[in-house]
Structure 1
Amino acid sequence: MTTSIATHKVQHLKLVSGSSSPLVFESFDLPSTNQRTLGAPHQPKTVIPLALRPSTHGDQVADLDAVVNSIKSLQSQDGILTKKLSQHGTLLFRGLPIHDANDFSKFAHAFGYQPHEIIGIVVNRPLLAPNVAPANEAPKDVLIYSHNESPQVPHAPEYIFFYGHRAPSIGGESPISSSLELFHRAKEEMPEFIEELAQKGILSRVTYKTETQYAGGSTLKQAFGKDIQDGDDEASRRRKVEAQIRRYGRDEHTTWEWTDQGNTLILTHHLPAIRTQPTTNLPTLFTGLAAYYRNFVNAANSARRNVTRQLYGDGTPIPEQYLKKLAEITESIRVLHKWERGDVLVYDNVIAQHGRQPWEGEQEDRVVMASLWDGVVPGGFQGSEGSWANVVQASAG
């Protein structure tokens, strides 16, 4: 079978095959609340998200095998979908024949990325299918503010897939915004903040406990205890947890302290908050600082306040006016994705942020699954000096 790709002015992706019913991914417009034109430094007329849906000739319905094979074919031709991700930050696939976690897993695997292992997970994500887990099981009234995935730990995924298995009638949207645009705006409006962030980085202090600290949160064993066995004594448990921490490969830039008779572990990471997009070398604000600020001022999220603390890399507090302004910019450049059942959102985690809005109805009215993947590690920012500013992937465990 021969294939070719045609990219049209309206951002259509078209897969033409030798079969009688070629599958076509066509772009389509979304409401302005769900899609916007990105500002600098993005190219003019670039939208987020780029919305795509499959179609076939006549009345034929695209089956999952056809979709998976088409994704593989597109990716085999110079990674066309990965390039679209690096341009738009987020892709929406609608109308896919995906009905459960296993279907979603097959679709996500078709992109050819490497599964991401979360080390030091702060939320509970039980496995549902190969490299598929719940996105977040926090109560429905909890706002999860815009952030890049895993900015508080050294080892973060490059790509995130979300599948909407069940969508609420009111609320539950997923924010979508550009971290490239966020950096650009922050540098324009708060140049002194960006300069300090570049020079100092972030000191991220994350607390883990043997018991869950808030609904939907993880335990110490879930975060670092994959090798712990029933019957291990305290010394063995600590040794196995610390072995997982050392996989970060951060040397003196990740330190830890055991407290509360071994029931609490406090990790301190010195991390870069400014990184660069691999394909363009553009600076991106890879952060959860706005989410950290919103959690701190939101009484409903008070249980999450003390789990993670964010400071400048030298240990000094970040002035509140910077955090507040960062949150305001984030809100001004985001859209809220209104889920339809079967939607799949794919984020380039290096340059795009996500979150979760509260919803009305029952907890089970919204079911979103996640799949995390590794890709090309983002580069360091030229204005950040020192080994703490290096971005790394953890060693295999």
Structure 2
Amino acid sequence: MSAYNDWKPMEIRPDGAGAGADGLRRTLAALGDFGDVLTQAKVVVFRGFQVGEHELDEVMDLLLPNRLAYTHGTSPRTKVAAGNVYTSTEYPSEQTIAMHNELSYSHKWPARLLFYCATTPGSGGATPVVDGALWLESLDEKVRDAFAGGVRYSQNLHDGFGLGRSWKQTFETGDRAQVEAFLEEGRFDWKWTSDGGLRMVSPVRPASIRHPVTGSTVWFNQADHFHPAALGDDVARELAQILPPEELPQSVTFADGSPIPDEYVIHVHDRGLEMAVDVDWQQGDLMVIDNVAVGHGRRPYTGDRRVLVAMSD
């Protein structure tokens, strides 16, 4: 058995430090450098501190030193507060969100994510987390080998009316020059279309990378999120059957442009969920994850689950 199979998130409780933001501050002071703690633990869950939503900004200042906007994001979210705080992905509650590292398809991704439970789900709704080294190790050798050369992502972003997200939603701006600067920096192949939309194809992105601190090699791509075979939405799958890949809101190929077999994508999708450890939620809980070391997702739920998310470099 791999040593990675024994991994689970680190859980921290008040243990006399008190609840709320003040208690969390005292606990963090006793821990020392939180960056070092997170690198070793990969995921840290703060239980029982009963942090109120009105205290969230203060807590995030302690745990996320430089909060980032959700630039180039593909999932539906709502910005709920200044300081780049968002709802978690707003997919229907009965859907599972597969494992992924935030923005791994882009040339810029956050190093850290923070999740905060504002409303406890009625049932279910855990956030599964998976050790990226275990995920990579769990894949069949032929699948790992096939992805070794990397992948290319394609997106068709409309101007406000159409399938999927608009380019204004994706980049949180209506300024074309700002979008173009981002695309040039990321070395995308892109063009504005006659109907005001944006067609963009990424350069080759890796399927796995080395963690910048630990050196561990981890699975790090979102091919299954861009591929119709692994989509949980029946409408999206039907759409993929009638439209060529170049016209879909998003698609993915191997680095040489060849199609990725459906069975490879489903294998990656399923192994990620199988290897994951579920983190259940109670109101006031927080979780910080190393976005390179681990992937995350969402289990189906009932009730009024509300989890907020922020990210930092």
Give the TM-score normalised by structure 2.
Answer: 0.86
Larger radius of gyration: 1
Instruction: Evaluate the alpha carbon distance shift between residue 346 and residue 203 of structure 1 in structure 2; reply closer, same or farther with a 3 A threshold.
Output: same
Instruction: Provide, for residues 258-281 of structure 1, a one-character-per-residue CA deviation record: whole Å limited to 9, x for no partner.
Output: 22421x212111211211112221
1:154 aligns with 2:107: yes
- How much is the aligned-residue C-alpha RMSD, in angstroms? 2.6
Instruction: Evaluate the alpha carbon distance shift between residue 287 and residue 213 of structure 1 in structure 2; reply closer, same or farther with a 3 A threshold.
Output: farther
Instruction: Provide, for residues 141-165 of structure 1, a one-character-per-residue CA deviation record: whole Å limited to 9, x for no partner.
Output: 3332111111222111111110011
Partner of residue 179, structure 1: 132
One of 329, 352, 370 as aligned partner of 2:294: 352
For residue 129 of structure 2, give the secondary structure of its aligned residue in structure 1: strand
Partner of residue 71, structure 1: 28
Quote the Cα distance in structure 1 between the aligned partners of 2:161 and 2:92. Answer: 14
Greater mean deviation of Cα atoms: 104-113 or 335-344: 104-113
Matches within 5 A, 1:1-397: 40=2, 42=4, 45=6, 47-56=7-16, 61-72=18-29, 74=31, 77=32, 79=33, 81-100=34-53, 102-111=54-63, 113-122=65-74, 123-186=76-139, 189-190=140-141, 192-198=142-148, 200-211=149-160, 218-224=165-171, 226=173, 228=174, 237-246=175-184, 249-251=185-187, 254-262=188-196, 264-270=197-203, 271-293=205-227, 296-300=230-234, 302=236, 306-361=248-303, 365-374=304-313
Give the TM-score normalised by structure 1.
Answer: 0.69
Quote the Cα distance in structure 1 between the aligned partners of 2:116 and 2:259. Answer: 37
Which residues of structure 2 form unaligned runs of 5+?
Answer: 241-247
Quote the Cα distance in structure 1 between the aligned partners of 2:228 and 2:41. Answer: 26
Question: Could you tell me how far 1:298 is from its partner in structure 2?
Answer: 3.1
For residue 302 of structure 2, give the secondary structure of its aligned residue in structure 1: coil
Quote the Cα distance in structure 2 between the aligned partners of 1:287 and 1:275. Answer: 9
For residue 350 of structure 1, give the secondary structure of its aligned residue in structure 2: coil
Question: Could you tell me how far 1:315 is from its partner in structure 2?
Answer: 0.8
For residue 38 of structure 2, give the secondary structure of its aligned residue in structure 1: helix
Quote the Cα distance in structure 1 between the aligned partners of 2:80 and 2:165. Answer: 14
For residue 123 of structure 2, give the secondary structure of its aligned residue in structure 1: coil
Greater mean deviation of Cα atoms: 47-56 or 82-91: 82-91
- The answer to whether the 8 A contact 2:71-2:172 is kept is no
- AA aligned to 1:207 is N
- The answer to whether the 8 A contact 1:71-1:111 is kept is no
Aligned residue pair count: 303
Quote the Cα distance in structure 2 between the aligned partners of 1:177 and 1:51. Answer: 16
Instruction: Evaluate the alpha carbon distance shift between residue 83 and residue 301 of structure 1 in structure 2; reply closer, same or farther with a 3 A threshold.
Output: farther
Instruction: Evaluate the alpha carbon distance shift between residue 336 and residue 292 of structure 1 in structure 2; reply closer, same or farther with a 3 A threshold.
Output: farther
With a CA cutoff of 8 Å and minimum separation of 6, indicate the structure with the bigger relative contact order: 2
- AA aligned to 1:119 is T
Instruction: Evaluate the alpha carbon distance shift between residue 319 and residue 41 of structure 1 in structure 2; reply closer, same or farther with a 3 A threshold.
Output: farther
Which residues of structure 1 form unaligned runs of 5+?
Answer: 1-38, 229-236, 375-397
For residue 137 of structure 1, give the secondary structure of its aligned residue in structure 2: coil
Q: Which runs of 4+ in 1 moved over 6 A?
A: none
Identity among equivalent pairs (%): 23
- AA aligned to 2:19 is A
- The answer to whether the 8 A contact 1:295-1:301 is kept is no
For residue 257 of structure 1, give the secondary structure of its aligned residue in structure 2: strand
For residue 84 of structure 2, give the secondary structure of its aligned residue in structure 1: coil
Instruction: Provide, for residues 201-232 of structure 1, a one-character-per-residue CA deviation record: whole Å limited to 9, x for no partner.
Output: 11011222222656xx6432132353x4xxxx
- The answer to whether the 8 A contact 1:68-1:106 is kept is no
